[in-house]
């Protein structure tokens, strides 16, 4: 590829992004009472939000439905062509329909109108033309029109679909805030992904506890320290005082450093060589927070303690990696 061709590609790509950026900027001044009323209708919907669109708009409709569903507003996608051949049966009187059509004249969507009107289903229209069949029949119209498409022929849905998608996000996030939808609720809808794990998994769900906790007394000898670390396979042991309170930890890294600097280590006792006042977490700490502490202090394991500093468990970075929190 010669340099001239490269420059043409770069120029076209920049122009596409400029056109789509301008399209999004134009939407900002259209956030008005129509938008507010649309949010109110969706918020008060007793059924589900049914999002419909044809072709490229259909793809955008699917994404908007998915975003609504994952942020506390039950939603589904209805293919308009399938709708007029039986799938309209999924739409109930309590639902709200969002119809996306740049022209406002998409035949498959227009064909749905008699049914929607007959059963009094609320209709929110996202269209690119303010005067069209859909906008006349909609309860609320949100203008997502664009000055031009990003394709050189001004035909391929590009800027228009970007605008519709962004407006759908604006609706979804506005609803999210109005519902008081928080991180914990979001995680409930994403239990299988890393997002959900980071938001709902707590240290208590992952930590090693009971007989799996490596622990020695302050007066334990080096051989006891090494045995505790190796037998539990965590590379660390907690050190407790006579009242069973955590006073320190000793790790395989500490052992290596000790071997580099000492000639006779086996006469040492835990209280002499342990790391005092170690970093620790409570059992109800989010696992993601434990990861943050480990990364900040360059450590791979943390003791888990209660309010009285009793050792309740150990959480290791390997376990966090294994379940996908990291």
Show the tokens assigned to 134. 């859909």
Q: Residue 197 has what pLDDT?
A: 58
77 SS3 class = strand
Q: Per residue in 104-155, pLDDT tens?
A: 999 999 999 999 988 899 999 999 988 899 999 999 999 999 999 998 888 8
Section 29-33 average pLDDT = 94
Q: Per residue in 267-322, pLDDT tens?
A: 888 888 898 999 999 999 888 888 889 889 888 899 999 999 999 999 998 887 87
Could you tell me which CATH number the domain at 203-322 has? 3.10.580.10
Any idea which residue has 């604006």 for tokens? 170
Q: CA 290 to CA 280: how far, in whole Å?
A: 9
Q: Where are the domains of the chain?
A: 3-181, 203-322
Section 69-85 average pLDDT = 90
Q: Residue 290 has what pLDDT?
A: 86
Domain range 3-181, its CATH number among 3.30.70.2190, 3.40.50.300, 3.30.390.50, 3.40.50.10490 = 3.40.50.10490
Residue 82: closest CA among 100, 64, 108, 115: 108
Q: CA 117 to CA 173: how far, in whole Å?
A: 28
Section 83-108 average pLDDT = 92
pLDDT at 191 over 90: no
Q: Residue 62 has what pLDDT?
A: 97
Of 44-58, 174-188, 216-230, the range with the highest mean pLDDT is 44-58
Section 239-259 average pLDDT = 90
Q: Per residue in 204-218, pLDDT tens?
A: 888 998 999 999 999
Q: Residue 307 has what pLDDT?
A: 93
Report the predicted TM-score, pTM, of the whole model to 2 decimal places: 0.64
Indicate the helix (H) or strand (E) that contains 36.
helix 33-43
> Can you say how many angstroms the Cα of residue 192 is from the centroid of all Cα atoms in its chain?
11
CB atoms within 10 A of CB 211: 6
Lowest mean pLDDT among 96-100, 137-141, 254-258: 254-258
pLDDT at 193 over 70: no
pLDDT at 188 over 70: no
* Banded model confidence at residue 256, pLDDT cuts 50, 70, 90: confident
């Amino acid at each position: 590829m010669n340099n001239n061709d490269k420059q043409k590609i770069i120029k076209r790509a920049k122009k596409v992004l400029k056109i789509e950026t301008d399209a999004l900027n134009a939407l900002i001044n259209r956030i008005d009472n129509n938008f507010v009323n649309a949010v109110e209708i969706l918020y008060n919907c007793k059924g589900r939000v049914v999002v419909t669109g044809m072709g490229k708009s259909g793809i955008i409709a699917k994404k908007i439905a998915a975003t609504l569903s994952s942020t506390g507003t039950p939603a589904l996608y209805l293919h308009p062509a399938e709708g007029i051949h039986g799938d309209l049966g999924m739409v109930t009187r309590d639902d709200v329909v969002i119809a996306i059509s740049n022209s406002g004249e998409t035949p498959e969507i227009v064909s749905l109108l008699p049914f929607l009107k007959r059963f009094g289903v609320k209709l929110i229209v996202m269209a690119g033309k303010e005067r069209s069949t859909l906008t006349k029949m909609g309860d609320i119209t949100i203008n997502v029109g664009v000055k031009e498409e990003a394709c050189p022929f001004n035909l391929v849905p590009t800027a228009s679909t970007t605008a519709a998608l962004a407006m759908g996000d604006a609706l979804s996030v506005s609803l999210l805030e109005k519902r008081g939808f928080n991180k914990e609720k979001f995680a409930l809808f994403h239990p299988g992904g890393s997002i959900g794990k980071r938001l709902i998994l707590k240290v208590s769900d992952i930590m090693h506890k009971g007989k799996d906790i490596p622990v020695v007394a302050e007066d334990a000898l080096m051989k006891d320290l090494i045995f505790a670390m190796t037998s539990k396979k965590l590379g660390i042991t907690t050190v407790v005082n006579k009242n069973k309170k955590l006073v320190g930890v000793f790790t395989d890294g500490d052992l290596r450093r000790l071997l580099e600097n000492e000639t006779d280590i086996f006469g040492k006792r835990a209280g002499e060589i342990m790391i005092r006042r170690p970093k620790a977490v409570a059992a109800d700490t989010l696992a993601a927070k434990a990861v943050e502490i480990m990364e900040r202090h360059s450590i791979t394991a943390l003791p888990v303690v209660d309010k009285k500093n009793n050792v309740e468990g150990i959480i290791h970075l390997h376990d966090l990696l294994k379940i996908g929190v990291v």
